[in-house]
A and B are shown apart, each in its own frame.
Chain A
């Protein structure tokens, strides 16, 4: 699926957070958003998944204007894994994942065998099948995020938005989650803090600074020492490992 945001402006009170941002993603492309804290990455994504309403600008999902779609219709196009929150409700893992089927359900429709099959498959994909009957609140942070990813998968959307989903997770769980997402055959738009993780997984990266796009391109082209110095004000060196994967060393 293609997603486009055109010239998005958004202010909180007098403070302008997004100053005319445009991004787009091609079908099945893995697009990363990088930028310092407070640059507007998350705000931009929140506009795309409808938590925030831009003051100006338009967002299109497969060419359809977002504000003309019902929330139900957009939830069939875009699923979201947001920053990790500590939940403490007594839902079982299966019940949480089953909620991903909500956008596909009419008001009085019951969950059927097909929904349950989709839920089991989603749990399998994220490797959480054995946890299906556990209470969600008893899981670790990494496990909870995988369950939330399974819920997003159960939505069966052609596009997935990751809003810094690996915050608070250790490196094992960060890589694990990103690998699962990379294997999916969908469009991904992800805000990423860690530049090395962005370089490993993204097809294309947008850099946001101070509410504006300051660069875009493949990780190799975009992430140069000069560029990192300009955006993050740190010195860096780019090296390549034996497999040719680039790594950023901060000096």
Chain B
């Protein structure tokens, strides 16, 4: 019992350190960017906007204010929200399909979003949604693809982890085929380029209209999943064992998939496709803190937020006067890390021999 108490408090310290790291990351990352603004000016703007400190009222408007408060700050919060959301979804999807190779996009969500975006740009479907028609269509595509996967995997008996993966692959190639067909027959080169950029991901669309919504969605969804840690743990033991432990996972699995499709849909809508975060962060955190979802979910959420904030900073500063699409950068960092994790033999996961 004593040793357990020590472990619990050590875990508390980890959480506090990660929260401190997140706050530091948010504050520090605002000072990076192409515009030449001093650190002092950055914090004077922030202090003025948040606490209305009269001394700094010179920064109430003007170019410096706009860059810091209207561009950088929402963008950093967006990175945090999406990093957190994708990591949490990654953890959840890996448990739902009981497969360590799953990521938030595994069940056709990415191809669904891609098809939605292609339909919006090329066919002009969804123009009623206004400026972000592409994002909203991507959201609808993502959610529709998840429903399709659930429906297909439920045909001829109850769905299970294996059927979900197979149905996800089928729906995924179907959606990609349709999207590529649209792109191929379209004569509009601009539209094709637009889709291609969109699929590389970018946080540039962040502003004070969409950031609070996304932040709220991600935090609420994370809290909901955190309350479900016991069922997520049971999912790794398998459906049969879960029944002998008094839990029928069938409904929970559907509910988790839909909530997670909803989260990913929001992320895709706001920032396009950002791969690898939802795969690499859950893996890395599982290696450090074990599989118990009670711990895994909060550390993954915080680490994912911190990771994406700094990835976005790197995107903004690597190229002079241009920014690198974040999807490219994350994959460039993520793939070597993933290979490193993969060859570390001590690490295993539920199901087969890891």
Contact = CB atoms under 8 A, between A and B. Distances in A.
Q: Do A and B bind each other?
A: yes
Interface of A: 49-51, 70-76, 78-80, 82, 86-92, 94-95, 99-100, 102-103, 105, 107-108, 116, 120, 133, 135, 137, 155
A73 B351 CA distance: 27
Contact of A102 (B246, B350, B352): B246
Given A105-B230, A120-B1, 12 more contacts: A70-B246, A75-B243, A75-B244, A80-B244, A87-B350, A88-B349, A90-B291, A91-B233, A92-B292, A95-B291, A100-B245, A135-B290
B243 A89 contact: no
A91 B290 contact: yes
A102 B230 contact: yes
A208 to B, nearest CB: 21
B4 interface: yes
Contacts of B237: 87, 99
B34 interface: no
A96 B352 CA distance: 17
A95 B292 contact: yes
B233 A99 contact: yes
Contacts of A91: 233, 236, 290-292
B316 interface: no
Interface string B263-293: 0000000000000000000000011001110
B284 to A, nearest CB: 13
Contacts of A70: 246
Closest 6 CB pairs of A and B: A75-B246, A103-B246, A89-B350, A72-B246, A88-B348, A80-B244
Given A91-B233, A91-B292, A102-B247, A51 B240 contact: yes
Contacts of A71: 243, 246-248
A53 to B, nearest CB: 11
B193 interface: no
19 contacts: A50-B243, A51-B240, A70-B246, A71-B246, A76-B246, A78-B244, A82-B240, A82-B241, A88-B348, A88-B351, A88-B353, A89-B350, A90-B347, A91-B291, A99-B230, A99-B245, A102-B247, A105-B230, A116-B4
A59 to B, nearest CB: 14
A99 B350 contact: no
B80 to A, nearest CB: 26
Interface residues of B, number: 31
A133 B3 contact: yes
Nearest to A107: B227
Contact of A89 (B1, B227, B244, B349): B349
B1 A95 contact: no
A90 B230 contact: no
Given A90-B291, A92-B290, A116-B4, A103 B350 contact: no
Contact of B290 (A79, A90, A100, A155): A90
Contact of A90 (B240, B248, B349, B352): B349
A170 B105 CA distance: 44
Contacts of A94: 4
Nearest to B247: A102
A76 B292 CA distance: 23
A8 B4 CA distance: 46
B162 interface: no
Greatest chain A CB density within 10 A among B3, B227, B237 is at B237
A79 B234 CA distance: 15
Nearest to A92: B290
B154 interface: no
Nearest to A49: B244
B15 to A, nearest CB: 16
Contacts of A74: 246
Contacts of B248: 71
A130 B102 CA distance: 34
A137 B286 CA distance: 14
B350 A88 contact: yes
Nearest to B236: A89
A75 B290 contact: no
A218 B354 CA distance: 45
Nearest to A100: B245
A25 B286 CA distance: 44
A86 B237 CA distance: 11
A135 B247 CA distance: 24
Contacts of B234: 99, 102
Interface string B175-199: 0000000000000000000000000
A79 B227 CA distance: 25
Nearest to B290: A90
Nearest to B237: A99
Contacts of B245: 75, 99-100, 102-103, 155
